[in-house]
C-alpha cells in the first residue's frame, strides 16, 4: 500500500507491526511539537492519535492528503468531527478495546480512595506506621450511583454488584431493558441519583451537556460524606465545585483519573490528601493497549484501502457480523448511482432521491447503502472528493432531499432496493436486488424489467420495439471488434419500446457507438462503466 501513516502518540508495538505489514510507510513520532506536527501533516494519508493530540480545523487545513484519523482509544472529544466529515476524512476509533481496563481502573480508584491506600503507602515510605488516621469505609450495602450506563458504566455495575453494592444509574438515553439486564435501578433524574448515592461514578462522554454535570447544585443535595470517581473525562465532575465540596467535607474522598487541563498538572484537586489521582491511566494496561493498537491499525489500513470499517465514528455504526453482507449491497447501491449518472446524459440538477428498501435488506444498516447510492450519483459530477463520509453532507449542501422508506414485505424478491432520482422535468428509476450468496442484479431501469449482472462495461440501448434492431446492434459491435458476454432485453409493450443491456468485454469506440445510434429505431445509446 503506497500510503504514509503518522503515529503521533504511543501505540503498542503490535499495532505498529501491523501497520508496517500493510506495506505503508509508517513514521512513529510521538515527540512532535504542535508546530512540527502542523509542518509535516501535509505529507500523510493517515494520522493515529490518542487523547492528547487536538485534531482540529487548524490541522485539517494543513493536511491536504489526509484520508483517515485513527483514534487509538475510545473518546473522540479531541477530534473535530465536522471538519473531518466535510472533507471526507474518515475518523475511526476503538470503542470496545479498553473498556475493561477503564472499568477496572474506576474500581481501583474507588477502593484506593475509600481505603486511603496511596496515602498509607506514602506514610510507610516515610517510615511511619500510621494506623490511626487512615480508617476507610466498606462498599458492602452502600449505594453506588452510576451516571452513564454505557459500555464502561455497565461493566462497573456488574463488577461492583459482586461487592454487595446496591446499584442505581442515571442515563436518559438508554431503554429500561438495559437497566434490567444489569440489575440496576433506573433513576429518572440526576438529582434523584445524587440524593441517594453513597458513591458516584461518571461514565458519560464529554459533551456540552455532560461537562460540569456533577457541580455545585449536585453537591448541595448530595449525602454528606459522598465519595466520587471520575475516570471518564476531566470536568464532567466540575473541578472547582468538587474543590469546594471537599473543603466543606460534603465529599469524603475522590478518585480522579482525568483532569480538565491535561496534560498540565494544574488542577486544584492535586492539593487534597483525600483525593487519589492518576494521570489518565484508565486505558493503560498491557491488554488494553495491545487491543487498541491492533484494532486501530486494522481499521486505519481498511479505511485507507476504501474498505468498510465497523468503528467509523462519522459513519453509521455497523455491527461487525454485518460488514461482509453489507459490502455487496454497498457495491450495488453505488452501481445504481453510477448508472443514473452515465445513462442520463441530458442531466438536470437532482432535486430528490427517493430510496425504498424492501424485504430482508431492512435488517441491515440501510443508511449506509443510502450513502453508497449518493456516492454513486455525486462522485462523477463533483470534482471534490465524495465518499461515504461526506456523501450525505454533499447531497444536503446541493439542496437534494433524500427520502428513505422501508417495507418488510416484497413480491418476487427476497430483497429489493428501488431508487427514484427526481429532477425538475424528469424522473429516473433503477432497482436492484441481491440473489443467493451475494450476486447483485439490476432488475429494473426506467420501467424496463431486466435481470442484469452489472459488469465493468455495459452497453445500454433504448429503441422502438421492432424487428431487426437487436441484430444490427450485434453486427455493429462485431465490426467494432467488441465481444458480447451477455444480453438482456426489457420491453414496455404498451409503449412499443424496448431496452437492451449488453455486457461487453471491452471499451466501445465513439465511432461504433455513433453507428449504433444511427440504427433506425434506436433512440438512446450509452456505454456505462462500473
Ligand X SMILES: NC(=O)c1ccc[n+]([C@@H]2O[C@H](COP(=O)([O-])OP(=O)(O)OC[C@H]3O[C@@H](n4cnc5c(N)ncnc54)[C@H](O)[C@@H]3O)[C@@H](O)[C@H]2O)c1
Query: Which amino acids are annotated catalytic?
Result: 233, 262, 280
The count of residues in the chain is: 530
Shortest Å, Cβ 321 to ligand X: 19
Using CB under 6 A, which residues numbered 200 to 219 contact ligand X? 203-206, 209-210
Query: Which of these segments, 4-12, 138-146, 166-174, 292-300, binds ligand X (CB under 6 A)?
Result: 166-174
Q: Which stretch binds ligand X (CB under 6 A): 121-129, 144-152, 306-314, 323-331?
A: 144-152
Choice from 46, 149, 283, 297 touching ligand 3PG (CB under 6 A): 283
Give burial (CB, 10 Å; 0-12/13-18/19+) of 178.
middle
Number of residues that bind ligand X (CB under 6 A): 32
Examine residue 98 and tell whether it contacts ligand 3PG (CB under 6 A): yes
Shortest Cβ distance from residue 263 to ligand X (Å)? 13
Q: Where are the beta strands (DSSP E) in 360-410?
A: 401-407
50 interface partner picked from ligand 3PG, ligand X, none, CB below 5 to 8 A per type: ligand 3PG
List of residues 6+ apart from 393 with CB closer than 8 A: 85, 86
Tell me which of ligand 3PG, ligand X, none is bound by residue 110, counting a contact when its beta carbon lies within the kind-specific cut-off of 5 to 8 angstroms. none
Residues 6, 9, 15, 20, Cα dihedral to 10°? 20
Kindly give the pairing relationship between strand 497-504 and strand 484-492.
Answer: antiparallel
Residues numbered 48-77 forming contacts with ligand X, rule: CB under 6 A? 74-75
Provide the 3-class DSSP secondary structure of residue 151. helix
Select from ligand X, ligand 3PG, none the partner in contact with residue 187, using the beta carbon and a kind-dependent cut-off of 5 to 8 Å: none
Hey, which residues between 325 and 344 contact ligand 3PG (CB under 6 A)? none
- 168: region left, alpha or beta (phi > 0 left; psi from -120 to 50 alpha): beta
Q: Which stretch binds ligand X (CB under 6 A): 160-168, 198-206, 301-309, 480-488?
A: 198-206
106 lines the binding site for ligand 3PG (CB under 6 A): no
Contacts with ligand X in 242-271 (CB under 6 A)?
Answer: 257-258
Please tell me whether residue 291 binds ligand X under the rule CB under 6 A: no
Given a contact cutoff of 8 angstroms between Cβ atoms, the answer to whether 473 and 516 are in contact is: yes
Residue 70 forms beta bridges with which residues?
48, 92
Tell me if 99 contacts ligand X by CB under 6 A.
Answer: yes
Burial of 33 (0-12, 13-18, 19+ CB in 10 A): exposed
**Three cell numbers, residue 468:** 431487426
Q: What's the closest the beta carbon of residue 150 comes to ligand X, in angstroms?
A: 2
Q: How many residues form the binding site for ligand 3PG (CB under 6 A)?
A: 10
Long-range Cβ contact pairs of 112-116 (< 8 A, separation 24 or more): 112/255, 112/276, 113/227, 113/229, 113/253, 113/254, 113/255, 113/274, 113/275, 113/276, 114/138, 114/139, 114/199, 114/227, 114/253, 116/253, 116/274
Q: Whose CB is nearest to ligand 3PG?
A: 73
Q: Does 201 engage in binding with ligand 3PG (CB under 6 A)?
A: no
Q: Which of 152, 200, 297, 350 binds ligand X (CB under 6 A)?
A: 152
Q: Provide the grid cell at 78.
A: 479531541
Residue 395 CB, nearest approach to ligand X (Å) = 28
Residue 289: which region, alpha, beta or left (left: phi > 0; alpha: psi -120 to 50)?
Answer: alpha
Q: Which of 366, 390, 368, 386 is nearest to 377 (CA)?
A: 386
Residue 211 to residue 215: CA distance in whole angstroms: 9
Indicate the residue among 206 and 491 with the shorter CB distance to ligand 3PG: 206
Among 12, 51, 311, 358, binds ligand 3PG (CB under 6 A): 51
Nearer to ligand X, 23 or 172 (CB): 172
Stretch that binds ligand X, among 95-103, 118-126, 392-400, 430-438 (CB under 6 A): 95-103
Using alpha carbons, list the distances in angstroms from residue 435 to 91, 216, 452: 33, 60, 12
Select from 203, 280, 375, 497 the one that contacts ligand 3PG (CB under 6 A). 280
Residue 170 or residue 331: which is nearer to ligand X going by CB? 170
The footprint of ligand 3PG (CB under 6 A) covers 50-51, 72-75, 98, 280, 282-283
Amino acid at each position: 500500500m503506497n500510503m504514509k501513516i503518522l503515529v503521533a502518540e504511543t501505540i503498542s508495538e503490535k499495532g505498529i507491526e501491523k501497520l508496517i505489514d500493510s506495506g505503508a510507510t509508517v513514521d512513529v513520532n510521538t515527540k512532535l511539537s504542535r508546530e512540527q506536527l502542523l509542518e509535516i501533516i501535509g505529507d500523510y494519508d493517515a494520522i493515529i492519535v490518542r487523547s492528547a493530540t487536538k485534531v482540529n480545523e487548524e490541522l485539517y487545513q494543513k493536511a491536504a492528503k489526509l484520508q483517515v484519523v485513527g483514534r487509538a482509544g475510545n473518546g473522540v472529544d479531541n477530534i473535530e468531527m465536522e471538519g473531518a466529515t466535510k472533507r471526507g476524512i474518515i475518523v475511526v476509533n476503538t470503542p470496545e478495546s479498553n473498556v475493561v481496563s477503564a472499568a477496572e481502573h474506576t474500581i481501583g480508584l474507588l477502593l484506593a480512595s475509600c481505603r486511603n491506600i496511596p496515602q498509607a503507602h506514602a506514610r510507610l515510605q516515610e517510615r511511619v506506621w500510621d494506623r490511626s488516621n487512615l480508617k476507610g469505609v466498606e462498599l458492602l450495602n452502600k449505594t453506588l450511583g452510576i451516571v452513564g450506563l454505557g459500555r464502561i458504566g455497565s461493566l462497573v455495575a456488574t463488577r461492583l454488584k459482586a461487592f454487595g453494592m446496591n446499584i442505581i444509574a442515571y442515563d436518559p438515553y438508554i431503554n429500561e431493558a438495559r437497566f434490567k439486564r444489569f440489575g440496576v435501578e433506573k433513576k429518572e433524574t440526576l438529582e434523584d441519583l445524587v440524593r441517594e448515592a453513597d458513591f458516584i461514578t461518571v461514565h458519560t462522554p464529554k459533551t456540552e451537556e455532560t461537562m460540569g454535570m456533577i457541580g455545585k447544585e449536585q453537591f448541595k443535595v448530595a449525602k454528606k460524606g459522598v465519595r466520587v470517581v471520575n475516570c471518564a473525562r476531566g470536568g464532567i465532575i466540575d473541578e472547582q465545585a468538587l474543590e469546594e465540596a471537599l473543603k466543606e467535607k460534603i465529599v469524603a474522598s475522590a478518585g480522579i483519573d482525568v483532569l480538565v487541563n491535561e496534560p498540565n498538572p494544574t488542577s486544584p484537586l492535586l492539593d487534597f490528601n483525600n483525593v487519589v489521582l492518576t494521570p489518565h491511566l484508565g486505558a493503560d494496561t498491557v491488554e488494553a493497549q495491545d487491543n487498541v493498537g491492533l484494532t486501530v491499525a486494522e481499521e486505519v489500513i481498511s479505511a485507507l484501502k476504501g474498505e468498510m470499517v465497523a468503528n467509523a465514528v462519522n459513519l453509521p455504526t455497523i455491527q461487525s457480523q454485518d460488514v461482509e453482507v453489507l459490502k455487496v449491497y454497498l457495491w450495488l447501491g453505488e452501481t445504481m448511482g453510477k448508472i443514473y449518472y452515465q445513462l442520463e446524459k441530458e442531466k438536470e440538477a437532482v432535486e430528490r432521491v427517493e430510496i425504498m428498501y424492501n424485504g430482508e435488506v431492512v435488517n441491515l444498516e440501510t443508511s449506509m447503502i443510502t450513502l453508497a447510492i449518493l456516492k454513486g450519483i455525486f462522485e462523477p459530477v463533483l470534482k471534490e472528493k465524495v465518499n461515504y463520509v461526506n456523501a450525505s453532507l454533499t447531497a444536503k449542501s446541493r439542496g437534494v432531499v433524500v427520502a428513505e422508506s422501508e417495507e418488510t414485505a416484497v413480491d418476487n424478491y427476497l430483497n429489493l432496493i428501488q431508487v427514484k432520482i427526481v429532477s425538475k422535468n424528469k424522473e429516473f428509476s433503477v432497482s436492484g436486488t441481491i440473489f443467493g450468496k451475494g450476486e447483485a442484479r439490476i432488475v429494473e431501469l426506467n420501467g424496463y424489467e431486466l435481470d442484469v449482472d452489472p459488469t465493468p462495461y455495459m452497453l445500454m440501448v433504448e429503441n422502438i420495439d421492432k424487428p431487426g434492431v437487436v441484430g444490427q446492434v450485434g453486427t455493429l459491435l462485431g465490426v467494432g471488434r467488441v465481444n458480447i458476454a451477455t444480453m438482456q432485453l426489457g420491453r414496455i409493450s404498451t409503449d412499443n419500446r424496448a431496452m437492451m443491456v449488453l455486457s461487453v468485454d471491452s471499451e466501445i469506440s465513439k465511432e461504433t457507438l455513433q453507428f449504433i445510434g444511427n440504427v433506425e429505431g434506436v433512440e438512446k445509446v450509452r456505454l456505462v462503466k462500473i
